[in-house]
Amino acid sequence: DAGVIQSPRHEVTEMGQEVTLRCKPISGHNSLFWYRQTMMRGLELLIYFNNNVPIDDSGMPEDRFSAKMPNASFSTLKIQPSEPRDSAVYFCASAMGWELFFGEGSRLTVL
């Protein structure tokens, strides 16, 4: 299995632009998580889905962030409009049971 696949790996954009991050979970995993990692705050859970249904989105910082999981093999995290403070590495992880498998992350820089 190729593992959790995220794209893009790197994104540089200007403040105010829309950003869409993509994730393909491991086939057969029924839970998908979006995390944000910064030096200051470490890893923070933004939202997670179980069987494609959003279960807990309390970590989503504000209305500018939205996430969707239209099917079991694809999820998106969208930021609109983006701001410099959104600069971070965004990780997607999938799980079946307790074990989390992380993707390689999408490094976002908002200028």
Partner 1 sequence: KNQVEQSPQSLIILEGKNCTLQCNYTVSPFSNLRWYKQDTGRGPVSLTIMTFSENTKSNGRYTATLDADTKQSSLHITASQLSDSASYICVVSAGNNDMRFGAGTRLTVKP
CB 48 to partner 1: min, Å? 6
42 part of the interface to partner 1, by CB under 8 A: yes
Beta-sheet pairing, 19-24 with 74-79? antiparallel
77 part of the interface to partner 1, by CB under 8 A: no
The HSE-up count of residue 61 (CA atoms within 13 Å, CB side) is 16
The structure tokens listed for 3 are 């593992």
55 part of the interface to partner 1, by CB under 8 A: yes
Cα–Cα dist 85/49, whole Å: 25
List interacting residues with partner 1 (CB under 8 A): 4, 31, 33, 42-45, 48, 50, 55-56, 91, 93, 95, 98-105
